[in-house]
Every structure is written in structure tokens, then in C-alpha cells.
Amino acid sequence: MTDERRRRPVKRLEAGSRVCLVSPCSPPYPERLALGVRMLESWGLVVDVLAAAAAGAEQRSPQERAHELQTALADPTCDAVLVTRAGHGAGDLIGLLDLAVLDAQPKYFGGFSDVAHLHVALGATASVPCFHTPEIAWNSRLNGDGAAESLRRSLMGDVPPVRPVSARVSAAGPSACGELRGGTISTLAQIDAAPPGSEGVVLLLEDVRESAASVKTLLTAVERRGHTEGVSAIAIGQFAECDDPDEVTDTVRTWAEQFASTCIWDLPIGHGVEQQTVPLNWLVEIDTGGGTLAPVSQPTDREVTWS
């Protein structure tokens, strides 16, 4: 079975656009949240930290967190919804949300790691992209000007190509296109994949605090959950705080060879430093000659509106 829906871009933000910050997972660190709010405001955006957002998963029930997120998604005055922090808890919200509201209000939704639960559900439900972004409770130890500019451009301009951080050759096989899906391996291992689109899938994989052996086990679960169905290429991000990141990357590359001949690796996407923002559930191209991953068309558009 394939998903034949045509994806539509979401609203591109401008100065004065309203951004709602939500915490469907773990609670953010207050000092990091304040830093992220100041950053967004410095771009001319109006930031609304929803009343209970800072409480996060440990203080609130799934029903409370789902209500907060649903309120932001359905609010016609909210132009974008960003997750403050990942961690855990997003999977508890599946079944409590009406994500199809984004078909009526095609707005930017961003987060990563545990938020993959919501990214996959959104991809199966709505006809718009979502975004693999850093946490908005901004970790300045990991993310500086490069990550901030990537996020700003994805919100308010054109999404730029992402290039591997390594100077050595970090791509193999022919260039290939597909809808970018995936995220953190240990989260994907818990989620059944959405049906692939007719244009194929570029599967994004990254993780944190794993070993080569544990990743190999998790990848077996990723395959069993259906995430390799329709894969035309593999995009490998960062493996932060792993015993041997190069060994983990090599393990993923070897595993990937059985599903696709096209692969790009060492991308600054995931839990590492200067995390780049990319559109998920959106057609991208891996250019192995140029060593880039880029959207085929832009996933945001200033002409997108709703009443």
C-alpha cells in the first residue's frame, strides 16, 4: 500500500507572525527556554509560551498535554507550533489528537527525537510537512549561529541544502529523491511506519548514547516496524555521546546497503552540534555528487493562509 496524497507547503512566517511553544514531552529547562524565546523574538516573531507548557510530561497527564498541543494546532491566530524539549511522553498523545486540523490550517510544526511519534502520525494523517528542528529550549552548548540560522531560514525563508560535516567523501551511489522520513532510531523502533509515497522514501537516521551493538538491534526493530518499505535512499545524521560514533555510523551504513544503494552520512542533523533543520514528510533530493540533502521544492510559502 502507498500513500498517494500530494503534499502542500505550510505557511511561511514573517515579522509579527505568532509562534506557540508547547511541551508535549519532557519539561524544558527554564533558562534554556528563556534563551530560545529571546532568539525567536529577535527575528521579529511574537512568541507565546502556552500557560502550562513549561510543566512538561512529568507534571501533567497525557490528556492535559494533548489539549495544549491541540489548542495550538487548531488556533487560527497561531502561525507555527514548536516543541520546547523532547525527552519522553509524545507517544502517549497518539490517539488523543486530531492532526488533520493541519490540512485546514497548514502551519509549521517542529521538534525532534521523541517528537518522531508526532511526525510519523502527522505524516500518516495530514497532507503537509513537519520539521526536524532543534529543541526551542535552546542548548547553547550544542547549538550556535549555524543551527539558529538554519531554523530561522526554515521558518521565514528558503530551507538551504544540508552538507556533511566531514571533509572526506560522505556519500555513495546515484543521486536519489524521496519523501524524507525518520529521525531518532530508538524512537522509530517503537512506531509503525506510515505507508510510503509513490515517490519513495529517504530514511533519516540518527541517535544519542547508543553503541554499535544496540543500534544494530534497534535497526532490526526499525525494519520490522515497516520504515524500510519503499526506501530509495538513506540519510545518516549525528550519533552524539556514543561510545564510538564512527563505528555506529559504519554499522548503520552496512545495514542500509540492503535497502538502498544511495546513502549520505555525517549530516549535522540530530542530537549533535549545530543541528540543522530539515522538512519531514516532504520530497528531498540527495545529490551524491555535490554531497547535499535539499528539498526539491520549498516546504513553506508566503501565499498560504487560512481564515
pLDDT along the chain (307 residues), means of 10: 72 98 92 95 95 66 94 98 95 96 98 98 96 96 96 98 87 97 98 91 97 97 97 96 92 96 97 97 97 97 94
Residue 198: per-residue pLDDT: 83
3-state helix vs strand vs coil in the chain, percent to 5: 30, 25, 45
pLDDT at 1: 44
- Tell me, what's the pLDDT at 50? 78
Rounded Cα–Cα distance for residues 89 and 40 (Å): 25
What does the alpha-carbon distance between residue 111 and residue 218 come to, in Å, rounded to a whole number?
21
Cell numbers placing 287: 545529490
Measuring CA to CA, which residue among 153, 133, 147, 41 is closest to residue 84?
133
Q: Which residue has the cell 529571546?
A: 38
CA quadruple 85, 88, 93, 98: dihedral sign: positive
Cα 12–chain centre separation: 17
124 by Cβ neighbours in 10 Å (0-12 / 13-18 / 19+) ranks as middle
Q: What is the pLDDT of residue 57?
A: 61
- Long-range contacts: 138-144, Cβ < 8 Å, 24+? 138/32, 138/33, 138/35, 138/36, 138/39, 139/32, 140/32, 140/35, 142/271, 142/272, 142/273, 142/274, 142/275, 143/273, 143/274, 143/275, 144/274
Could you tell me where in the chain the CATH 3.50.30.60 domains are found?
A: 171-295
Q: How far apart are CA 10 and CA 103, in angstroms?
A: 9
CA distances 219 to 52, 125, 207, Å, are: 36, 25, 11
Instruction: Report the pLDDT value the prediction gives residue 169, as an integer from 0 to 100.
Output: 75
CATH fold for domain 10-160: Rossmann fold (3.40.50)
| Fold of domain 171-295 | Glucose Oxidase; domain 1 (3.50.30)
Q: Where do the CATH 3.40.50.10740 domains begin and end in the chain?
A: 10-160
pLDDT at 230: 96
- Tell me which amino acid residue 196 is: P
